[in-house]
Homo-oligomer: A and B are copies of this chain.
């Protein structure tokens, strides 16, 4: 048996999404064998993040500063606001570097099944941000799931009294998608939203 310290490290790593007991053990072994280039940097990085961890009080992003680095970035367009369900969605969209505006994290989606109601999400805060003015367009970037779309519809209704353009992400074939492998829902969306070949 490995020592209790090593066992504890293995268990802490095994609880991370994407790692199981087996891969955690492999990771621990790697950390132990490469102390200077793997263990020490990871320890320093974790320590720094733990020290500074903050939830952005404006948009709900998780970062090491409040306001977060996106809200504080003056090169971004404050007239564009993209609403997402989770922080992971914000990160995914931000990674694409295609959206030059700001974000708003709801912290989930409306769900009758899970009993998640509007007051459980950061919706009032969103309305307040829009009510202040200065925002021209709100992009509803919910997941293309039933609950995501329900949430988008609800938000669209709540926002329609404000002088903003409300848009949503396009639905259709994913890049590289082969018709034969796509579900009927996606095909239906792609057909319904078909556009003229210029």
Contacts and interface: CB of A to CB of B under 8 A. Distances in A.
Interface of A: 1-3, 5-6, 8-9, 11-13, 15-19, 23, 25-33, 35, 38-50, 52-53, 62-65, 68-70, 87-88, 91, 94
A33 B86 CA distance: 11
B5 A52 contact: yes
A80 to B, nearest CB: 17
B27 A19 contact: yes
State how many copies of this chain the complex holds.
2
A124 B128 CA distance: 74
Contact of A64 (B5, B31, B87): B5
Nearest to A13: B42
Nearest to A34: B15
A59 to B, nearest CB: 13
